[in-house]
Structure 1
Amino acid sequence: MKILVVSFDGLRPDLISPELTPNIERVQRSGTTLSRHRTVYPSETRVAFPSLVTGATSSKHGMVGNKYVDRKAVPQLYVDTADARLIEQLNRESNGGLMTAPTLGEILHKAGKSLAVLTTNTPGTTRLFNHLAEAFGHLRFSGHFREACSPNDLLDQAKAHLGPLPPAPPQGQPDTDGQVWITSAFLDFVWPTLEPDVTIISYGEPDTTSHFHGTGAAATREIISFCDAQFGRVLDWWEADGRAAGVQIIIASDHGHITAHSRVSVIEELKADGFTPGPAPEAGVDLVVVPGQVGAFYLADRSENNLGRVVEALTERPWCGPIFTAPRNAVEGMARGSFASSLVFADHERAPDVYFSFRSDDIVDEFGLVGRTWYDNARRPGLGVHGGLHPKELAAVGIVAGTAFRDPGQNSDIPSGICDFAPTVLHLLGVLIPVSMTGRVLREVLQNAADLPAIRLEPEVFETGLNGYRQILRRICVDQTTYLEGGSVASSDLSEAAE
């Protein structure tokens, strides 16, 4: 048995349709759709994909954000995980401690099996799919970036067949050439040459185009259709040869998108409260505000009193959504009004002192899609963002097909998540699942699922707050596994979203 995982970065499940994505929809007809599939928090790419390959939340694997501050470094280091060379350096200098949970690459290697990765994501994201590929002799190809590729001899052979790696497109332009290259690399080189036990193909779109054009914009829909057509080439191969060879397909996305409606400068707002914030650690900065859609604060003075000051300032802002600090107990964070970060499985030692999501709503955007939010970046309103706890940010694609799975054309309404794919893959391959994995085997979509005992679902709702600020977090438990359903701020006398 072989496994093929195909991901579409940032694809909302509600954008799958016979008109826009006929090939993904073709897999839905031949497989099972996970209709209540969710990602992790923060709902960022370089948190979610490590969760895919470790089968665990960031509290286990340690990739706590697209960007974070390494407090153990002297001086403290601002880490942008998009940088493949920095990722490799940090792993080397930490004696292999970059990821604090074993990955599919490590687990498969120990079991005598192979993993191949082909992506058009950032160089750092590509490396995080299998950051130890060099040590294991595994193939890891980027559609653009030589520094993320390994091994050299296989890359040279692939380029001899396919031509050179295409350059990355200009910022904000849809990426077409890279999608073609990695698709051809799999079909014409990787599978015929290696037949890996597990292959991950990660199309880096529609995420980039959504960020620069809008989640439902014409350009975004065009790149979704383009990526679907490239996947159609893979699907044609699977239907002709791959399925008979025992290849099982998993289709995924790492998160959804919602629409930015009103910009705020968090740094400027906190200056008004007497803080000296900055985007990176440096002399005179008492509060590092990590750039991005997820609020991540690192305090120079980490006392409970100062933490309380920061959180109280946030609760008075109309743009602030759910807030998390280190656990005081099972529900409350150390700062009054905040939730415990353990509630969203984001309490790793690298985690910031404060996480917060921007306040979101369920208003329909100009493209007819539900979900809007405040934001903090230099782009115009109306563009796609993600990272927070709106249900449309957490909603992710999950589809499975092949002889190992249930009868075709089914929908599973049992909640599932991105952490479930790795243990399911290992189960199908007969490889021992490590205790570090917080996900579960998706037994309800496997063959003979009818013989399973009834699955117990238990919804959970948590509330906390300070003064006029009230926040709500919704989760659901499936036996021993918990998934995030969404987080929000209750209506209060704070002003609602600006129009």
Structure 2
Amino acid sequence: MSVCSISTRIVIVLFDGLRPDLISPSVTPNLDRLQRRGAVLARQRTVYPSDTRTALTSLVTGTTPDRHGIVGNQYLDRLSAIPIFVDTSDDRLIECLDKACGGRFLGAPSLGEILVENGRTFSVLASNSAGATRLLNHKAETLGLVRLSGHFPQVATPAAMLERVVGLLGPTPAPAPQGMPDLAAQSFLTSAFLDVIWPEVRPDVAILSFGEPDTSSHYSGIGAPKTLEAIGFVDGQFGRVLDWWEAEGISQDVHLILASDHGHVTVHAQADPFETLQAAGLHCGPAPGPGIDAIVIPGQVGAIYLAEPSDVAIRHAAGTIMERPWCGPVFTAGRGEVEGVAPGSFARQLAFADHARSADILFSYRADDAVDPFGLVGRSWSPNWPVGFGVHGGLHAKEMSSVGILAGPRIKSGLVSQVPSSICDFAPTVLRLIGIAPPSTMTGRVLCEVLSEDAENEPRVIETVHETRDGGYSQYLRRIQIGAAVYLDSADALSCRVRT
């Protein structure tokens, strides 16, 4: 292993919700340019649930949700004296919860903590939700690090840096009207990075996170003209970063990582989880309350918390949803390495979802490989998004598939790697590049196959397919192992029970 110069720096650029198959010379000429001169991770995957705030936390901790504890964009915290509904888009709630648990809201150290401990710096600029921006650098205030939001000034720290940026660029942009591409914040943050953060702070590691095309995919559709417009616009903003990198960054030993947190599939039918459970005699609600038997977390990721989570109750509720045509893969507490306590379900640990915050029953909405109206593969049921709109959170291959491109002086050029990889691998790879040993909390691996300093031998890949079934319901889950690292590839349910 070569000795790394302390001058090595990393810039991670994120496109929220970008599917790899939407990168093309016509729509994204700058991403295409980077692909041709860098190393492409052709089998890159995210984590389950394939939600933004879960995935971004895995990015900065280098580990899976069962370790870092952000088990979904929303979850029920039953460890509190009074169970509370947690929406991780709420940055102030995250701050309060972290203080309440003595700074241990995340179950693993993140990049900001690790870098400061090793005398390095870390800056985050993000136009995602306020909560997602905080999760990327959740201890920025106490560590003296930079965190800027493209929409929410209250998340920014330190105050002097926000004043410096606003004085140069004008006020932080307001969120775009619902249904419109969110463009202003992407331009604002790109300018903030190029004109202020890089020249004045020169962080050892920086994250520039664009909130598009996720917003447009949700409200217009993943291949709709407005979404393609947003993708093209953000590609143009990335082009400004790429031009700077090619002119100055490479010579300063700056490495680029381009990534997305998840993909999307298109809604083709509506699901009715609340009605299904109500019909089975379970009184449902979005939060704990008198007479509530099942708390069903609203959203694309299915999560059911039972007021009395006995094995009998879990089997009843899980069996009920398995009868519905919209029910995809189902997970419950394990009664073995593969099977859950509910017949036909998988054990939660198989999907790295076994945490004290996890729901008693986790499920994805059924997805298929049919082509949507935009000519893209991947459709799903949804409980609350209209037909034709983009969604994510589940285990379809197109939801789990994400972008991964690396480039720089120590990255192989023109490589398309077929070695499976994960969003958890970026943090240990970043630390390797700047000369810090990854901590034992990281379950991701160093992406040795793309580093020019490493041997040409490709790692051994072990692919495993697990199956469970009960009556007419069956499901399959594909996992991949490389050394000690294990990834989820995808999962699906192939049939449902027939009601009698």
| TM-score normalised according to structure 1 size | 0.97
- Does the alignment pair 1:360 with 2:362? no
* Cross-structure match for 1:402: 408
Q: Which stretch has the larger CA shift, 484-493 or 147-156?
A: 484-493
Unaligned runs of 5+ in 1: none
Q: Mark the CA change 1:199 to 1:334 in structure 2 (over 3 Å): closer, same or farther.
A: same
Deviation, structure 1 residue 454: 4.2
Paired residue type of 1:410 = L
Distance 1:421 1:172 in 2: 32
* Cross-structure match for 2:388: 382
- Does the alignment pair 1:274 with 2:281? yes
Q: How does 1:48-63 map to 2 (within 5 A)?
A: 48-63=55-70
CA offset digits 1:4-48 (Å, max 9, x no partner): 000000000000000000001111011010000000000000100
* Cross-structure match for 1:172: 179
> Quick check: 2:322–2:496 contact (8 Å CA) kept in 1?
no
- Secondary structure class of the residue paired with 2:212: coil
Deviation, structure 1 residue 170: 1.6
* Cross-structure match for 1:95: 102
Distance 1:411 1:93 in 2: 45
CA offset digits 1:403-429 (Å, max 9, x no partner): 0111x2210000000000000000111
Deviation, structure 1 residue 171: 2.0
Which of 432, 436, 442 is equivalent to 2:441? 436
- Secondary structure class of the residue paired with 1:260: strand
Distance 1:353 1:83 in 2: 24
Distance 2:136 2:263 in 1: 19
Paired residue type of 2:397 = P
Distance 1:45 1:83 in 2: 14
* Cross-structure match for 1:425: 430
Which of 466, 470, 474 is equivalent to 2:474? 470
Deviation, structure 1 residue 265: 2.2
CA offset digits 1:461-494 (Å, max 9, x no partner): 1000211100110111112211111101124676
* Cross-structure match for 1:320: 327
Distance 1:413 1:51 in 2: 22
* Cross-structure match for 2:484: 480
- Does the alignment pair 1:196 with 2:203? yes
CA offset digits 1:198-241 (Å, max 9, x no partner): 00000000001100000000000000000000010111100100
- Does the alignment pair 1:456 with 2:463? no
Distance 1:92 1:16 in 2: 41
Which of 444, 447, 450 is equivalent to 1:445? 450
Distance 1:169 1:483 in 2: 35
Distance 1:24 1:134 in 2: 33
CA offset digits 1:366-422 (Å, max 9, x no partner): 000000011011x4201000000000000000000000111x221000000000000
Distance 2:344 2:298 in 1: 23
Distance 2:219 2:283 in 1: 31
Distance 1:353 1:172 in 2: 34
CA offset digits 1:238-283 (Å, max 9, x no partner): 0100111110000000000000111122111110000001111112
Paired residue type of 2:23 = I
Which of 320, 344, 351 is equivalent to 2:351? 344
Which of 391, 395, 399 is equivalent to 1:393? 399
* Cross-structure match for 2:259: 252
Distance 2:147 2:458 in 1: 40
* Cross-structure match for 2:12: 5
Distance 1:192 1:11 in 2: 29
Distance 1:356 1:71 in 2: 19
Distance 1:489 1:268 in 2: 21
Which of 58, 68, 71 is equivalent to 2:75? 68
* Cross-structure match for 2:493: 489
Paired residue type of 1:93 = A
Number of residue pairs matched by the alignment? 492
* Cross-structure match for 2:168: 161
Paired residue type of 2:448 = R
Distance 1:269 1:305 in 2: 18
> Quick check: 2:332–2:345 contact (8 Å CA) kept in 1?
yes
- Does the alignment pair 1:334 with 2:349? no
Q: Mark the CA change 1:491 to 1:353 in structure 2 (over 3 Å): closer, same or farther.
A: closer
Which of 206, 210, 214 is equivalent to 1:207? 214
- Does the alignment pair 1:122 with 2:129? yes
* Cross-structure match for 1:133: 140
Identity level (%): 52
Distance 2:364 2:378 in 1: 14
CA offset digits 1:146-205 (Å, max 9, x no partner): 121111011111111111111111222211110010000000000000100000000000
Paired residue type of 1:382 = G
Deviation, structure 1 residue 448: 3.1
Paired residue type of 1:473 = L
Unaligned runs of 5+ in 2: 1-7
Q: Mark the CA change 1:435 to 1:472 in structure 2 (over 3 Å): closer, same or farther.
A: same
Distance 1:180 1:16 in 2: 20
Distance 1:109 1:394 in 2: 31
Distance 1:62 1:138 in 2: 23
Which of 62, 84, 93 is equivalent to 1:86? 93
Distance 2:267 2:101 in 1: 37
Which of 404, 416, 422 is equivalent to 2:421? 416
> Quick check: 1:315–1:466 contact (8 Å CA) kept in 2?
no
Which of 305, 309, 325 is equivalent to 1:302? 309
> Quick check: 1:318–1:494 contact (8 Å CA) kept in 2?
no
